[in-house]
Structure 1
Amino acid sequence: MLEDHSLQARGETFFLNLRFMLIVTVFVGNAIEPLIGNMSGLHSLYLWIFSFHMPLFVLVTGYFARKSLTGTAGCKVLLQLATQYLIFQSLYSLLDVSLFHVSNIHHSFFAPYLLLWFLASHACWRLLMLGMGRWSTGAQITFAVTAGVAVGYLQLDGVWFSISRTFVFLPFFVIGYHFSFGMFVKWVQKYVKIAAAAFSVLIFAVLAAIGSEFPLGWLYGSMTYMQLEAIEWYAGLYRLAVYALQITASLAFLGWVPYQVSRMTDWGRRTLYVFLLHGFIVRLAAVSGLYAYIGNAAGTVVLLLCAILSTVLLAQPGVKHLLHPLVEPSVDWMITLQRAALRRTP
């Protein structure tokens, strides 16, 4: 029993470290996006990041979801996701209209605003897992992959209801939910981790060499085959090939993640704050004209350092203490009302 508890603690440490490293890549990816069309090095970095960071982020979310999928805990998470979505969908849309004056954005609760698709999809992944609760692990993964391929054939804009990303990334949520850390550490020893990290660098080099023509829409997961101009009946095979790339790049990146407890472990507990708040910083930088002054290596390095430093700052306890009511609003009153309503129901 003590050994199982120790293994569970090590697994939590590993995934908290991974979660923080991934939120760094999220911030960096969004920060450099306005420049990838003009700077090939940043385009390569952006492509490499998108080859693994969302699949792994979804996997980590699935891993931690198994503690709170059912019962009152599961209901509370769903209510909080819905509340967070309503709050930040309203805030981002309001600022876009009033302050940032950004055009070509769907301002609708039915079209998640940029990064907020993750909240909508997270709620859907949980509901889908509840629906698949009695299935075997193999059946769940088979359904998830099949749905991820099939959703691309829909003749609609995949942004609405986050339907495309929900099913495209569903396999990673299912894998994360059933992930065995004990099996992982058994096979991924020191030299395997070193080899995986080296292979991650190789993937970056390959993408840098041949990725200039790679359609990024395939990695976003938000577009149907019609939108990606893949009208062939076998377009689903392209999705399977992208899955292969994402799984390979994700496994390779895990080689960089430390097992040891560190400050990064603590920061990993507050990545939600970075995720929901960093969009304001990126949007402010974009509308301020800052990117017009970044055209060389020195400016790029400063931008990357600022993104990393901002990630660390947003993950500090002080930010949580100050913004907790906004980022993690209490939904206990909803649970209380729900229980009261159930008691009154004959």
Structure 2
Amino acid sequence: MTEPEDRRPDRGAASPTAESNPAAAETTPARDARLDNAKFLLIGLVVVGHMLGPMRDYGPANVLYYWIYFFHMPAFILISGYLSRSFTTSPRRVEKLILTLAVPYLVFWAVDHAVHALQRGSLPDALSLLQPTYALWFLVALFLWRLSVPVWQRLRRPVAVALVVSVCAATTDLGSGTLAIGRVLSFLPFFVLGLTLRREHLALLDKLWVRVGAVAVMGVTALLAVPASQELSTDWLFLSSSLTDRDIDPLLPGLGIRLAFLGIALAMSIAFLALTPKRRTWFTDLGAYTLYVYLGHAALMEPLRMTPWYDVATGPVGTVATLLLAAGLVLLLCSPWVRACLRWAVEPRSTWFLKPLPDTPRPAERESAGSGSRA
């Protein structure tokens, strides 16, 4: 769930500014249709995974759940890292970071607690802004990762360092989930790897042997999900808790299993991108609105669990119906009128929360300037 990005009529072409200014062309590259397609498909898998969660008593639904969780968040994080390559700590970049991640986090954190209070008659036991609710951990993680971009860009071996950090997080007691620090550190290698990628690396995905290998990877992991869903806890998928909290030796086999899951996630992320269409499709433009889907569906999941849906939707028919419901929800949350209703929370105006930047004219000054130019 990357931040909302600039909407241009043609995402496959460079902007007029880039054409007339070579320097701008370097800093404002054309949108990549493959990445927009991948973002839309991945946000669909996020919604499907969350909606299948309460149905894991049914074997096929549980297998599909595990297969999705093998890679969908690592792939999203990899793309987020790639799209964060140009991030700097300039005032305007930090302002956008606050408005598109920090403010929506606060809004939907309050919404989640309000829904909880209405449904259960009381507030949660843990009422702290530093403890993300449900799916909001990703906003915290992306906020912290992007602030750290200048650090990773200065290191000689950033991916290796990030992997060491992830391993240390797996063997250290990180407490009760404050700022989702376990996931922030554990998923860090995927974000840093995305920072190191270039367009020529993505071009390799178009080679025939890569796509054939991608099909094989997806097929083998689908088979692997069958025993994994029966034998292994979902804690291995979420990467949210330390290995010291489990009834297993944290080094061997614990650390080996953790590294194996990271390797599977990487292989499946690459395979997924290789199989994602690189041309424009009917859903390419919708890839720019993944944050609306992510935050909107998270706010609806708790009310949905309180309905009779999961009492009725059981077995193969219920699983198919849930998948269709998830697809419909994704398209609904991408619709223009839903985005218009949620824009105040997902893309709030800077004047509501931040003081003007030093080089930004105040409203009165802009009006005076406009009057002068008209005169």
The answer, yes or no, to whether TM exceeds 0.5 is: yes
Tell me the equivalent position of 1:91. Answer: 111
Aligned counterpart, 2:161:
143
Match of 1:183 in 2: 201
Answering whether residue 190 of structure 2 is matched by residue 172 of structure 1, we say yes
Give 2:22's aligned residue: none
Letter in 1 for 2:102: A
Q: Identify which of 35, 45, 51 aligns with 1:25.
A: 45
Q: So what's the TM-score if we normalise by structure 1? A: 0.88
Alignment of 1:298 onto 2:304: no
Give how far 1:220 is off.
0.3
Measure, in 2, the Cα distance between the counterparts of 1:105 and 1:254: 41
Helix, strand or coil at the partner of 1:239:
helix
Match of 1:285 among 304, 307, 320: 304
- Which residue is equivalent to 1:82? 102
Letter in 2 for 1:19: K
User: How far 1:165 moved relative to its partner?
Assistant: 0.5
Q: Which runs of 5+ in 2 are unaligned?
A: 1-17, 20-24, 360-375
Letter of the 1:200 counterpart: M
Residues 230-245 of structure 1: pairs in structure 2 closer than 5 A: 230-234=248-252, 235-245=254-264
- Kindly report structure 1 stretches of 4+ aligned residues shifted beyond 4 Å: 100-105, 332-335
Structure 1, residues 119-170: CA drift from partner, whole Å, max 9, x if none? 111111112223333222x2x1111111111012222435211110001111
* 1:321–1:132 distance in 2 versus 1, CA, 3 Å: same
Q: Residue type matched to 1:326 in 2?
A: A
Q: Which amino acid in 2 is paired with 1:216?
A: T
Note the C-alpha offset of 1:253: 2.0
Q: Distance in 2 between matches of 1:187 and 1:291?
A: 39
Is residue 158–residue 222 contact of structure 1 (8 Å, CA) maintained in 2?
Answer: no
Unaligned segments of structure 1, at least 5 residues:
341-346
**CA gap 1:104/1:156 in 2 versus in 1, 3 angstroms:** farther
d(CA) in 2 for partners of 1:28, 1:255: 21
Q: Which of 136, 145, 148 is the equivalent residue of 1:116?
A: 136
Q: C-alpha separation between the residues in 2 aligned to 1:318 and 1:276? A: 16
Sort the Cα spacing of 1:298 and 1:197 in 2 relative to 1 into closer, same or farther, 3 A. same
Q: Deviations over 1:181-234 (max 9, x none)?
A: 322223532453244134312211221245411221111011111233334344
- By how many angstroms is 1:64 displaced? 1.5
On the 8 A contact 2:113/2:123 being kept in 1, the answer is no
User: Tell me, what secondary structure is at the counterpart of 1:110?
Assistant: coil
Number of the residue aligned with 2:172: 154
Deviation at 1:105, TM superposition (A): 6.7
Instruction: Call closer, same or farther: CA 1:205–1:60 in 2, change over 3 Å.
Output: same
Offset at 1:174?
Answer: 0.8
Quick check: 2:91–2:357 contact (8 Å CA) kept in 1?
A: no
Verify the 8 A CA contact 1:194 1:255 in the aligned structure 2. no
- Would you say 1:263 and 2:282 are equivalent positions? yes
1: CA distance, partners of 2:334 / 2:125:
28
Larger gyration radius, structure 1 or structure 2: 2
The two structures, once aligned, show a CA RMSD in angstroms of 2.6
Deviates more, 1:99-108 or 1:159-168: 99-108
TM-score by length of 2: 0.82
- Which residue is equivalent to 1:134? 154
Normalized per residue, the structure richer in helix is 1
Q: 2:270, 2:70 → 1: CA distance?
A: 11
> Aligned equivalents of 2:133 and 2:262: distance in 1?
25
Change (3 A) 1:221 1:209: closer
CA distance in 1, matches of 2:121, 2:304: 13
Q: Is contact 2:117–2:124 with CA below 8 Å preserved after alignment?
A: no
What residue identity is the alignment partner of 1:96? H
Change (3 A) 1:210 1:221: closer
Using the TM superposition, give the Cα deviation of residue 69 of structure 1 relative to its aligned residue in structure 2, in angstroms. Answer: 3.5
Residue 34 of structure 2 corresponds to 14
Change in CA separation of 1:310 and 1:333 when aligned onto 2, cut-off 3 Å: closer
| Residue identity in the other structure for 1:228 | R
Cα deviation digits, residues 71-109 of structure 1 (max 9, x gap): 134202331221111111111011111235698773321
Letter in structure 2 aligned against 1:27: V
Structure 1 residues 316 and 190: CA distance shift in structure 2, 3 A? farther
Among the aligned pairs, what percent are the same residue? 27
Name the residue aligned to 1:343.
Answer: none
